[in-house]
Structure 1
Amino acid sequence: MFRNRHFVTLLTGQLVSTFGNNLFGIALPWFVYSVTASKADLSLIGVAQSLPNLASLFTGVFVDRWSKRKTMLSADFIRVVLCVVLMAISVVHASLWPIVLIVFLLQCVGSFFGPAAAAFVPLVVAEKDIPTAMGIEQSGSATAQLVGTLSGGVLLTLLGAPLLFLFDGFSFLVSTVSLLLIRVKEYPAKSVEIHEKRSFFREFIGGIVMFQKSRFLLLTLVAALVVNFATAPFDLVLTAWVKGPMHGSPIQLGIVNAAFFIGVILGGLVLGRIIKSISLRHLFLFSLVIAGICVMGMGLFASVIWDACLTVCIGFVIGSLNGGFSSVVIQSIPASLRGRAFGAIGALFSMMMPVGMAIAGFVMTHTTLTTVFCGMGAMSILSGLTFCLPIREDLQAAFAPVEHMPSQVEG
């Protein structure tokens, strides 16, 4: 894989961008909570970050029509500008609402980038190398997140949130440069409509009906709705937990977050073996149940070491689950459907996250954080147990029939 120049270039740009995003993810809630001291404001930021995920239902249709590379380039450039604006706003300590708006716009732009990036990977690697590429990408991403998390607490203490917002913008700029260095063949938008003129509505529905074709995919949707509703505010709850009952610092928050990515790295390293030795159903079942038990355990003791050990376990099982599911799905989706399929899966799986974020603000204000951890963990366990239902694994049916595309042209 590392002999593939395009894959290495793409991976490098995305790892730098992931590193910047992780610094941003640590700095934003800490900055908001430090300035406002309000759990409700933390929840508001969470809603602004999660609500645009629903836009992927529609953006995936456009991604299938557009050049994936050009879509990613445009998204990265816009995010550079937005990060610079956010840095300026945070320096002058403007009200919360401009920050909420910028965060919302950043995520909206990301709703185009995500499906485009998922559909772009198969264009730079051979089909037989997709599982290996996904494992490398997952482990590399987790490593970048680990480094960002470990250094994020220190950098946040030394430099402050505004400079970390600016660095996130710089990371998007690096991603832009890496994409400019890549030349791959893509299907032109017009060729998709040579034999049949397609309306936006029909293409949008095409990304939805796959859930009707596969009962197993529908089951994963139900489970994802439950667990994502429950765990949507996890990062916000963890921030309040470290800053509150633990009386910790940004460095301690970074340590606990870093432990999660250590687990993801370990999961990525053994992903290939896991996929071969366990069915997708059992992977969902065991991963979600184990993750739920660990989340419940986090609220028992206000200890960095205790929470770090549990988050290693959470990262391992969730990393293995996400990587395994992505590898199976990406090999099942025809090239002409990848944008809308990944968009629909991402949007529908996360559609309950804004609701979870909104409710979290009320719940965190009116109950203890220990109770919140227990509630999140219990619902994760419940979502995992749904995979005990006798439903056949029929993911291939969701994306049938396979569409055959015209010959490729230079993108």
Structure 2
Amino acid sequence: MWHNRNVWLLLVGEFVAGLGLWLGIIGNLEFLQNHVPSDFFKSLILFTGLLAGVAVGPLAGRVIDSTKKKTVLLYSGFARMLSVVFMLLALKYSSVLWMVCFMVAIQISAAFYFPALQAAIPLIVTEKDLLTMNGIHMNVATIARILGTALGGALLVVMNLYSLYIGSMVAYALLFVSTFFLMIQEETSQHKSKQHSKESFKDIIPVLKQTPIVKIALILMIVPYLFIGGFNLMVINISELQHDTSIKGLLYAAEGICFMIGAFIVKRISVNKDLLKLMYSFTITIALAHLSLYFAYIKIASVVSFSLFGLAVGCFFPIVATIFQTKVSKDFHGRFFSFKNMLDRVMFQIVLLGTGLLLDTIGLQWMVVVFGGISLALVFYFIVKNKKGQSDYVSRPNTIA
């Protein structure tokens, strides 16, 4: 795998683009803080971009399945680079409207780019290397997130927002150039266009029915999202609970480091193992990590909880990604990953709103009991179903060598 030029291009491109993405996010937050006093309107602006990304999801799926993946990556990468121009106009005219245009444009381009990237990975590496590739890819994205946020915060001290967004645009430009050098072997776009001309986005529904393990994996992704969706709000509440502002950085660092460890070791611990059973195990671990935050008023307990979550989710996501890439036919990858992308965005917002509501009404300790209980109930429901043989969830053993 490491002798594959495409792998290096993909990872280096992901790292550079990740830096640009998080530089832009830091800039977005700074702009909103300076120009939008209302938290509600801030959330509306962010939600507008999310809604645009969800709206174009079905179209993105059909385009990805009927076009060469490299072509979609190039066009969406170019669009993401150009979208920064809207933000430069927003800065020049101090206009929130231009920022809304930026959010819509960048989310639409992302709705095409990320599903196409997930569909391209199985075309770049062999099936036996997929789990390793997914883990490393997620680690690179995590490192880019950590360095990007740190760099963005530091740069704001010494330069203005213009420079920050120019840096973001340069990163996207480098990704765009590196995409040209990808060599992806797939059918010609003309043949694929004819093959998929009569197919629609709804065709993904029977595919899910025919591959129960994929349906289970999609549903079980609710468990980590119950934690991730309220991540920042929980960190703030734990800091207030312990009367210690320094705990924020410690929790972020513990989770991030353990996530990278999990994504690094997942291949070794998964050798000749049933992917479904591993997914159940790590999902239960995530639920237990959530429940253990009942003791969040104890400093070491909260750090252990976040570390346990990071380790488990670092193993969970590469396994789930590998299941999706191997169990769903490549002919449906574009539509499937677009569908998954839409679910992720909607789920994240619902969990975020639910977390805020429960924190205001019942507090952190009982909220984690509710979310943890829901997570465990969900996992054990599928486990019991499998053992009783009431549903054919797995058609054959899912092992990796």
Same fold per superposition (TM over 0.5): yes
- Residues 1:332 and 2:306 aligned together: no
- Residues 1:189 and 2:195 aligned together: no
Counterpart of 1:405? none
Amino acid across the alignment from 2:173: L
Q: How does 1:175-214 map to 2 (within 5 A)?
A: 175-192=175-192, 198-199=197-198, 202-214=199-211
SS at match of 2:183: coil
Q: How does 1:366-381 map to 2 (within 5 A)?
A: 368=363, 375-381=370-376
Q: What is the CA–CA distance in structure 1 between the aligned matches of 2:284 and 2:171, rounded to whole Å?
A: 35
Counterpart of 1:79? 80
Structure 1 position 11, deviation (Å): 1.6
Q: What is the CA–CA distance in structure 2 between the aligned matches of 1:247 and 1:158, rounded to whole Å?
A: 31
Q: What is the CA–CA distance in structure 2 between the aligned matches of 1:238 and 1:158, rounded to whole Å?
A: 31
Structure 1 position 112, deviation (Å): 0.5
Instruction: Provide the TM-score with structure 2 as the length reference.
Output: 0.80
Structure 1 position 257, deviation (Å): 3.2
Instruction: Provide the TM-score with structure 1 as the length reference.
Output: 0.78
Q: What is the CA–CA distance in structure 2 between the aligned matches of 1:198 and 1:175, rounded to whole Å?
A: 30
* 1:297–1:310 Cα contact (<8 Å) kept: yes
CA displacement 1:223-279 (0-9 Å, x = unmatched): 335654x44632552575489777888x97565434333222111211112322643
Q: What is the CA–CA distance in structure 1 between the aligned matches of 2:300 and 2:92, rounded to whole Å?
A: 34
SS at match of 1:3: coil
Query: Highest relative contact order (Cα 8 Å, sep 6+), 1 or 2?
Result: 1
Change (3 A) 1:272 1:14: same
Counterpart of 1:12? 12
Unaligned runs of 5+ in 2: 387-391
Amino acid across the alignment from 2:276: R
- Residues 1:237 and 2:238 aligned together: no
Change (3 A) 1:171 1:255: farther
Change (3 A) 1:395 1:115: farther
Which deviates further from its counterpart, 350-359 or 316-325?
350-359
Q: What is the CA–CA distance in structure 2 between the aligned matches of 1:93 and 1:242, rounded to whole Å?
A: 35
Change (3 A) 1:149 1:242: farther
CA displacement 1:182-221 (0-9 Å, x = unmatched): 2333312221366x6732xx33222221121133333333
Q: What is the CA–CA distance in structure 2 between the aligned matches of 1:283 and 1:67, rounded to whole Å?
A: 33
Counterpart of 1:224? 221
Structure 1 position 59, deviation (Å): 1.3
Change (3 A) 1:35 1:237: farther
* 2:259–2:311 Cα contact (<8 Å) kept: yes
Name the % identity: 19
Structure 1 position 300, deviation (Å): 5.3
Structure 1 position 363, deviation (Å): 5.3
Counterpart of 2:281? 286
Change (3 A) 1:233 1:86: farther
Structure 1 position 117, deviation (Å): 0.7
Counterpart of 1:173? 173
SS at match of 2:148: helix
Q: How does 1:2-401 map to 2 (within 5 A)?
A: 2-26=2-26, 28-29=28-29, 32=32, 39-41=39-41, 43-44=43-44, 47-48=47-48, 50-51=50-51, 52-53=53-54, 55-90=56-91, 93-95=94-96, 98-156=98-156, 159=159, 163-192=163-192, 198-199=197-198, 202-225=199-222, 228=225, 230-231=226-227, 233-238=229-234, 240-241=236-237, 256-276=251-271, 278-298=273-293, 301=296, 307-348=302-343, 350-359=345-354, 368=363, 375-391=370-386, 392-394=392-394
Structure 1 position 111, deviation (Å): 0.9
SS at match of 2:57: helix
CA displacement 1:98-139 (0-9 Å, x = unmatched): 534532332221110011111222333334433332233233
SS at match of 1:182: coil
Change (3 A) 1:127 1:302: same
Counterpart of 2:389? none
The alignment covers a number of residue pairs equal to 391
Structure 1 position 318, deviation (Å): 1.0
* 1:56–1:115 Cα contact (<8 Å) kept: no
